[in-house]
A and B are shown apart, each in its own frame.
Chain A
Amino acid sequence: MSASNRIQIDGKEVQFSPGETILEVAWRKGIAIPTLCYLKGASPTGACRICLVEVEGARSLVASCAAPAAPDMVVRTDSEKVIRSRKLNLELLLGSGHHYCVTCEADGDCRLQELAYEYEVETVRFTESPARYPVETNTLITRDFSRCIMCGRCVQACNDIQVNEAISYGYRGDASKIVTIGDRPYINSDCVFCGECVQACPVGALVAKPSRFKGKPWEMKKVRTTCSYCGVGCQMYLHVNKGRVVKVTGVDGIGPNYGSLCVKGRFGFDFIHDANRLNTPLVRENGALREADWDEALDRIARNLKKIIDKDGPDSIGFLTSARITNEENYVAQKFTRAVLGTNNVDHCARL
């Protein structure tokens, strides 16, 4: 490596690879630069102006997420000018809409809130702009435009990550808005409700409706698991509050899904606590099923299976294990069929 592949950040000499942005080099080296709009895997927009840094010789502050590192650059990420500018930008953002945290779903998990606190924004100097667009909601996603900071992460998530191409930037100036084609509500648009935009939203503008008022982030236990729908095996967090799964999010930074989920994985979790879940063994008596305890139900199964094995042999029994249960359970099921029942009549729904 030649000296020309080096830049200086906050007095530290660091190497960069061609094409890397100042932000990427800094983060790789553990130098914290805050962002609101940066989304991994998508092209930078430079929209939020929070990642501004001072570059020696540049006329103004530079958005580090969009500026490629260049040989011998001298960068300051924490100069007074930088801090002042970030703080001003935060004040402007807080004044740009209705950033009322008390019942906001993002409270406690909001980048704007975190940064405002970190940069000690005590009061909002600018009067709050009135809401230009009403809240739009459907059963799955709520869009509160008054909380939108126009960072564009949702647009990138939709176009660059999921490539569903359902939303984009609309209108201009004060009227700016994230829109679907024809500015129709999500429910009547090309949106397929994957919720990538909801997960990408750094504030409370896009919210999973079924999780609204179901718990603050600090009340939730997040349990990492694997999705139970298709075979892709997306890694997800089940957010649990008071013994109930109230929200599902994708696990960022790890394959196969790198944070992405589909509509079923993200929203199709109501079945877990559905009132119609089977909660007791049932046995048939006089033609109808009635409740039983485990001993009665299992004894009846054992008795009948034994009787059939004795009379017609083990091959007169079939066992369908399941593509829905775990490896460990499938292992136990086929071992049970082979070693206990004594037949190889074990299969599952792979073909159906």
Chain B
Amino acid sequence: MLLIHCPYCEADHPELEFANAGEAHIVRPREMSNMSDEDFEAMFFIRDNPKGVSLERWRHVHGCGRFFNALRHTVSDTFLKVYKAGEARPSNDEIAKLIK
């Protein structure tokens, strides 16, 4: 069972309190009606499944209720970073540094 740090509660809590909410940093355009089928497919259906760092969303559903983002290494399940919703996606350089 994962131990997850909630960036809003600023505390570690067991996985039981959280719900995974899929891939992070997928932008839902405000003018969706104009999207091409290909863009909609890419936005709605296509997901990364990396062996390595996964950028993903979690919700502290049985806690503060907030959605937040996390970088989790899928091989070791180590959380490299958690950050609040709306904060910028960490750069690839930053991610590379975190892995080390």
A and B together in one complex: no
> Which residues from chain A sit less than 8 Å from chain B, CB to CB?
none
